[in-house]
Amino acid sequence: MTLSPSRRRFLTLTAGASVAGAAYAKEAPPLPSRPDLAPNALAANQSYWAKIAAQFSVTSAINNLENGYWGIMAQPVMNAYLGHTERVNRENTYYARGALNDDLQKVTNSVADFLKVSSDEIKLVRGASEALQILIGGYHKLNPGDAVLYADLDYSAMKSAMQWLETRRGVEVIKITIPEPARRENVVAAYAQAFDDNPNIRMALVTHVNNWTGLIHPVKEISALARSRGIDVILDSAHALGQIDFDLADFDADFAGFNLHKWIGAPIGCGLIYIRRNRIRDIERFMNEPGDDDDINARAHTGTLNFAAHLTIPDALIFHERIGIREKEARLRYLRNLWVSEARDIPGIDILTPDDPTMVAAMTSFRFKGRVTTEENNAMVKKLVSDHRVFTVRRTGPDAGDCIRVTPALYNNADDMRGLVEALRSLN
């Protein structure tokens, strides 16, 4: 996803404009210029990526390979955030009741441009949970006798919201299991089968990159299948934006939820709702929020939020653009492949995420054969930390059982991945 020249100009002019005096800012080394290499070749250029890693101020007390929770800010973004925080505090309610609204509208415009949608089709909120709960709960095209569909690899809070539609809307709730090992064809086939078996399905939740195994789901194919049957898709793109290169237009999506605090590297508390303009009225106005039927701002009420976090979004987008989405995705996949290619030889290990580059980027999970309980996986996560200083996270979600997720970030390097493989050998 790239910025148009006009939007790039806007971001350059406005981002960080008020932050020069941030009192707590740490100096970051200058961003290196990008060698003229194809993304996959650049991915292995350790000296370039060491300079990018130096943009992040992060503890070396732990080899942190759990970067799926959220993505820490790079230092230049952090400096901008401190500056915005200082400004909001200094200029106080006079700013908040004055120029702030225009400034936030400019932020919305920059995000809309980034997504290549119109600014009246998005609303900034605090995160993907808020965005998707509003979409799932507010979708009012359902009648008793209809069905909705979700999958075991969807996010927990979204699974609960889908399940809740049984009482809220009186619909049948159907859950499918994404096959293990997942391949493009068997994932698409699982949705096709469910759609064929249940002609009363009216709406489906589809996750773009799932948080349990990091699988990139074939959203384009699933959305096309749904569209051809008149099924609406609500897209959970929390983990995709900024991790992988995609164009929202390719998915023909009417409803989607995102955050910017995972892979875009904005401060925690930045998410957004997308609704295609002609579908806004299909999501209820939020708790009698005033506004007309086609006004996306009537779909959420964020109240007093962390203004400084949202004001920092353009700074985060600039940093993200300087790295480049294709380059970022390739580097993350390169780090992932470093550990997976070696770990596959460890007896008993199952790598749950396929090597197909269209189905994986940074995140991959593993499970030792037969070790499917939360206790067993917690014990392994604990041992990785206590014996090897390697931090990962146990995931409880796939129907086949618990697993452990590994998620490198741009500040990780090849040594971190080697450290992980050594640690994994000790679990065998």
Ligand X SMILES: Cc1ncc(COP(=O)(O)O)c(C=O)c1O
How many C-beta atoms lie closer than 10 Å to residue 277's C-beta? 13
Q: Smaller CB distance to ligand X: residue 201 or 238?
A: 238
List the x/- string, 282-301, binding to ligand X by CB under 6 A.
Answer: --------------------
User: Per CB under 6 A, does 223 bind ligand X?
Assistant: no
CB of 50 to ligand X, least distance (A): 28
User: Per CB under 6 A, does 271 bind ligand X?
Assistant: yes
User: Per CB under 6 A, does 222 bind ligand X?
Assistant: no
Count of residues interacting with ligand X (CB under 6 A): 12
User: Per CB under 6 A, does 310 bind ligand X?
Assistant: no
The single residue among 169, 239, 285, 299 that binds ligand X, judged by CB under 6 A, is 239
Cis check for the bond before 181: say yes or no (omega within 30 of 0).
yes
CB of 318 to ligand X, least distance (A): 21
Sign of the torsion formed by the C-alpha atoms of 196, 200, 203 and 209:
negative
Only one of the segments 75-83, 90-98, 235-243, 286-294 lies at the binding site for ligand X (rule: CB under 6 A); that segment is: 235-243
User: Per CB under 6 A, does 259 bind ligand X?
Assistant: yes
Q: Smaller CB distance to ligand X: residue 64 or 207?
A: 207
CA-to-CA separations, 184 to 178, 181, 219, 355, 367, in angstroms, rounded: 11, 10, 10, 11, 21
Q: Smaller CB distance to ligand X: residue 16 or 257?
A: 257
DSSP structural state of residue 21: T
CB of 236 to ligand X, least distance (A): 5
Q: Is residue 368 helix, strand or coil?
A: strand
Only one of the segments 3-11, 43-51, 207-215, 390-398 lies at the binding site for ligand X (rule: CB under 6 A); that segment is: 207-215
Q: Smaller CB distance to ligand X: residue 5 or 303?
A: 303
The single residue among 86, 236, 282, 315 that binds ligand X, judged by CB under 6 A, is 236
Phi, psi of 255 (to 5 degrees): -140, 130
What crossing angle do the helices spanning 5-14 and 313-323 adopt, rounded to 10°? Answer: 120
Q: Smaller CB distance to ligand X: residue 88 or 131?
A: 131
Q: Smaller CB distance to ligand X: residue 207 or 353?
A: 207
Give the residue closest to ligand X by C-beta: 127
What is the C-alpha to C-alpha distance for residues 316 and 78, in angstroms, rounded to an integer?
Answer: 9
Contacting ligand X within 69-108 (CB under 6 A): none
Long-range contacts of 117-123 (CB under 8 A, 24+ apart): 117/248, 117/274, 118/277, 120/277, 120/295, 120/296, 121/274, 121/275, 121/276, 121/277, 121/280, 121/296, 122/272, 122/273, 122/274, 122/275, 122/296, 123/272, 123/273, 123/296, 123/297, 123/299, 123/300
Q: Smaller CB distance to ligand X: residue 49 or 246?
A: 246
Of 419, 408, 413, nearest in space to 49 by CA = 413
Of 185, 176, 184, 180, nearest in space to 151 by CA = 176
* Residue tagged 């590994």 (tokens): 406
The single residue among 14, 109, 110, 211 that binds ligand X, judged by CB under 6 A, is 211
Structure tokens at 77: 């973004």
- The DSSP code sequence of 250-304 is GGT-SEEEEESSSSS-PPSS-EEEEE-GGGGGGB--GGG--S-TT-GGGG----S
Q: Smaller CB distance to ligand X: residue 65 or 128?
A: 128
Which helix or strand (DSSP H or E) is residue 309 part of? helix 307-311
Q: Smaller CB distance to ligand X: residue 211 or 365?
A: 211
The single residue among 115, 238, 309, 381 that binds ligand X, judged by CB under 6 A, is 238
Contacting ligand X within 117-176 (CB under 6 A): 127-129, 155
What is the C-alpha to C-alpha distance for residues 221 and 226, in angstroms, rounded to an integer?
Answer: 9
Q: Smaller CB distance to ligand X: residue 238 or 330?
A: 238
Only one of the segments 141-149, 232-240, 328-336, 401-409 lies at the binding site for ligand X (rule: CB under 6 A); that segment is: 232-240
Only one of the segments 95-103, 113-121, 236-244, 288-296 lies at the binding site for ligand X (rule: CB under 6 A); that segment is: 236-244
Q: Smaller CB distance to ligand X: residue 91 or 152?
A: 152
User: Per CB under 6 A, does 219 bind ligand X?
Assistant: no
Which helix or strand (DSSP H or E) is residue 206 part of? strand 201-207
User: Per CB under 6 A, does 377 bind ligand X?
Assistant: no
- Rule CB under 6 A: which residues touch ligand X? 127-129, 155, 207, 210-211, 236, 238-239, 259, 271
